[in-house]
Structure 1
Amino acid sequence: MNKEIKIAENSYWVGYVDDRKVPFHRLILEKGTTYNSYLLKTDKATVIDTVDISFGRKIVDNVKEYMDPAEIKYIVINHVEPDHSGGLPALANKAKDAIIVTTELGAKELKEMYRLHDREFLIVKDGDKLDIGGKTLVFFETPYLHTEETMITYCIEDKILYPCDIFSSHVATYDLFNDLADEDIIEDFETYYKLIMHPHRPYVQDMIEKIRDLEIDMIAPSHGYILREDVQKYIDIYEQSSKATTEDKQALILYSSMTGNTRKLAKELKLGLEERKIESKVINVKDNSNLEDIKEEIKAADVIFFGSSTRYADLVGGLEEVLKELKEMDLSTKFGVAFGSYGWSGEAIEVINDYLNDTNIKVVDSSYVIKNTGMDNLRFPIRVKFSPGEYEKKELKDSAHLVADLLIA
C-alpha cells in the first residue's frame, strides 16, 4: 500500500484490491473485486474485517504502515466467509493479545476454521456496544445476509456503518470512494444485490429496520466502493428491492394421510404460507378422486406441495395417481415440494421426490435450497416423524416461509 487512505479521523482502509478476473461463487468477476478492511487507530486499536485468505500477509503489511500489529486490541469479524475472515490467522499471529469480536455462531465457526480455540472471543448480540477508546462500536446481528452468523458494525462518533457483504459491489477500484468513481456504479451495486442478497430479502427487510434510526454518513462495506455520497440512495435500493411482492401468487397443498398426521403437516404449511401472504388451497386427494379437477388446480398454482404418509414403504391414498400425470404436464414455471409424516423410514416422501425429479418442475430439495439461498438449517423434502410437536410446527412454518420467499420476484 503506497498511500494513506483515510476514511475518518484515526480510521484507515487497510484492504487489498484484487484486479484479476476473480473466481467467486461459481462466477468469474470480470471487474475483479476489493477486500476492504478497516483499521480504527484508537486507544484500543481495532480492525474491522480482514481480507481474502490468499492475501493474509497483505493486511499485516498494511497495518504495519500505521502501527505495530501487536498493539491491536480488537479484531471484529462481521462474517466468517474466507474472503473476509481469511486474513485473521495472519493478523492474529501478530496481534497475539487481540480479542476477536463476533457473534456466538461466528465464534464457533472461526475456532474450527482457523484453529483459534485458545484465543479470547467477545460474543456480541443486537445492540451491544464496545468502547474502543475514543470511538464506540454498536453491533447488530443480521442472520442470512448472506450466511447465518453475520452481523454489522456501526461507529457512533464517525456515523459509519461497516456492513461487510451488505451494500457491496464487485469492482476492483483503487479510487475506493463512490464519489471518485469515473462511471456510474449503480449497475454493479444492483447486480451484487440481486446475486448475493436478493435470495434473502426477508432478512434484508429485518436489517433495514435495525439501521433505520441510525445516522449514517458513510457505508464502508467489504467489497467494492465505500459509499460516502448519496448514502441514503443505496439504502433505499435495498429497501425497495427486498419488499415482498406476493400479489397473485398461489400455493396448492395436495396430500393423502393414513392417521391424520400428514393432514396436520398440511395445515401448518398452509399457515406458514399465509403468513407470507400466499393464497393457499389444501386438497385431500383421498377425498377428491376427480383427477382432471386436481390437474387444473396444479396448473393454476405457482408452488405445489405433495404429501403422503408412509405405509409399508409406500404412498397411501390416491396421490400416486396424481404424480403419474405430472410427467405429461408443463411445470417449468412452478416449484414442487415433497412432504410427509412417517413412523419408520419414510420412503413415501422420497418416492414423491423421485416423481418430481422426473418432471420439469423446480424441485425444492436441500440441494436446491443451499445452491440458491445458502441456507442449510431446514431439510427438504420435509419429513416429520409421527405427529408434529411445537418444534416441528415451527420448522414447518419456517419451511413454508422459505418456499414463499422463493416465489417472490
Structure 2
Amino acid sequence: MKENIILSKNIFWVGKVDDRDVPFHRLTLTKGTTYNSYLLMTEKPTVIDTVDLSFGREFVENLKNLIELDKIKYIVINHTEPDHSGALGSLAARAKNAVIVCTKLAVDELKEMYKLHNREFLIVGDGDTLDIGGKTLSFIETPYLHTAETMITYCVEDKILFPCDIFSTHVANYEYFNDMAKEDITADYIGYYKLIMHPHRRYVQNMLKEIKNLDIKIIAPSHGYILRDKVQSFIDIYDNMSKNTEESKKALVLYSTMTGSTKKIALLLKENFEEQNLTSEVIDINKIPREEIMKAITEADAIFFGSSTKYADMIGNMEDILKDLHTLNLEDKIGAAFGSYGWSGEAVEVVQDYLKATNIKLLNTSDVIKSTGMIDIEFPLRIRFSPKEDNLKSIERAAIYTADLLLSTI
C-alpha cells in the first residue's frame, strides 16, 4: 500500500486490489476485484473486515505500517466468507489483544475456520452499539445477504455504512471511490447485484427498511468502489430491482394421497403460497377429469406434483398425468415434486424423474444451494408420514423460495 486512502477523519482503506482474472462462484471475474478492509484509528483501534485468504500475510504486513498490531482493540467481521474474513487468522495471531466482533451465528464458523477457539468474541445483534473511543459503531443483522450469519456496521459520527458484500462491485481499481472512477460503474454494480444479491431479494427489502432512517454519506462495501457520490441512487437501484412484480402469479398443487398425509402437505403449501401473495389452487387428481387438470397446468405459473408412496411407487392417476406432460410446453413454468412416505419414499423420486424429462424449470436442492448458498430448502419436498411441527418450516421455506422466483422482476 503506497499511500493512505482516507474515507474520513481517522478512517482508512487497508484492503487489497486483486487485478487478476479471479475465480469466483464458478465464474471468472475478468475485471478482477478488490477486498476492502477498513481501519478506524480511534482510542480503541478497530479493523472492519479483512481480505481474501490468499493475501493474509501481505495484509498484515501493510497494516503494520499504520498501527502497532497489538494496539488493535476490535476486529469486526461482518461476513465469514473467506474473501472477507480470510486474513483473520493471520491478523489475530499478531493482534493478540483484539476482540472479534460478529453475530452469534458467525462465532462457531470463525472458530472452526481459523482455529480461534481460545479467542475472545463479542456477539452483537440488531441495534447493538459499540463505543470504540471517539466513534460509535451500530450493528444490523442482515441474514442471507448473502449468508445466514451476515451483518452490517454503521459508524454513527462519520455516517459511513460498512455493508460488506452489499452494494459492492467486482472491479479491480486504484481510484477507490466511485466519483473518481474512469467510467460509469452502474453496469458492474447491477451485475454484482444480480449475481450475489438478487437470489436473496426479499432480504434485500428487509435490509433497506432497516437502513432507511440512517443518514448515510458514504457506503464502504467489501468489493470494488466506495460510494460517496449519489449514494441514494445506488440504494435505489437495489430497491427497484428487489421489489416484487405487480403481475398476478398462480401456484397449482396437484396431489394423489393414500391416507391423507400428502393432502395435508398440499393444503399447507396452498396456505403458504397465499401468504406470499400468490393465487393458489389444490386439486386431487383422482377426482377431476384429466382434461381439466391439463388445462389447470397450462394456466399456472408453478406446479407442485405430489404423491404418497405405496409399494415403492406412485398412487392413483399421478403417473397418467405425468406421462401427458410431454404434450405441453412448460418452459416458462416452475415445477416441483413432493409427497408423504412411510419407509423410503420412492414415489417422490419417481415424480421428480418424470419432471426431469420435461422442459419445466424443475426445482432441486442442488440448484438451490449453488444459486443461493441456502441449505435449509429442499426439493423434492419429502415428509415422512403426516406433516408435524418440525416439517412446517420445510414447507414454508419451499413456498417462499418458489414465490420469490415467481415474483421476481428480472
TM interval, shorter chain, is: over 0.9
User: Which residues of 2 match residues 1-400 of structure 1 at below 5 A?
Assistant: 1-245=1-245, 247-288=247-288, 290-400=289-399
Does the 8 Å CA contact 1:17/1:172 hold for their aligned counterparts? yes
TM-score (norm 1): 0.97
Whole-angstrom distance in 1 between the partners of 2:315 and 2:36: 56
Code of the residue aligned with 2:191 in structure 1: it is T
Q: Percent identity, aligned pairs only?
A: 61
Deviations 1:189-246 (A, max 9, x none): 1111111101111000000011111111110000000001111111111111101115
1:374 Cα deviation (Å)?
A: 1.7
1:328 Cα deviation (Å)?
A: 3.7
1:371 Cα deviation (Å)?
A: 1.7
- CA RMSD across the alignment: 1.2
Whole-angstrom distance in 2 between the partners of 1:97 and 1:316: 64
Deviations 1:342-385 (A, max 9, x none): 12221111111111112221111101111222211122111112
Deviations 1:289-321 (A, max 9, x none): x22221221122111100111122211221111
Deviations 1:224-282 (A, max 9, x none): 00001111111111111101115132211100111111111111111111122111111
Runs of 5+ unmatched residues, structure 1: none
Q: Secondary structure at the match of 2:354?
A: helix
Whole-angstrom distance in 1 between the partners of 2:300 and 2:44: 58
Deviations 1:20-79 (A, max 9, x none): 111111111111111000001111111000001110012212211211112111111111
Whole-angstrom distance in 1 between the partners of 2:360 and 2:370: 17
Code of the residue aligned with 1:307 in structure 2: it is G
Q: Secondary structure at the match of 1:247?
A: coil
Q: Secondary structure at the match of 2:122?
A: strand
Code of the residue aligned with 1:80 in structure 2: it is T
Whole-angstrom distance in 1 between the partners of 2:338 and 2:112: 34
Deviates more, 1:117-126 or 1:10-19: 117-126
Give runs of ≥4 in structure 1 deviating > 4 Å: none
Q: Secondary structure at the match of 2:182?
A: coil
Whole-angstrom distance in 2 between the partners of 1:66 and 1:59: 11
Code of the residue aligned with 1:392 in structure 2: it is N
Aligned pairs, how many?
408
Whole-angstrom distance in 2 between the partners of 1:108 and 1:348: 38
Whole-angstrom distance in 2 between the partners of 1:405 and 1:36: 31
Does the 8 Å CA contact 1:272/1:398 hold for their aligned counterparts? no
Q: Secondary structure at the match of 2:253?
A: strand
TM-score (norm 2): 0.97
1:393 Cα deviation (Å)?
A: 2.0
Whole-angstrom distance in 1 between the partners of 2:114 and 2:320: 52
Whole-angstrom distance in 2 between the partners of 1:139 and 1:361: 42
Code of the residue aligned with 2:244 in structure 1: it is A
Does the 8 Å CA contact 1:271/1:397 hold for their aligned counterparts? no
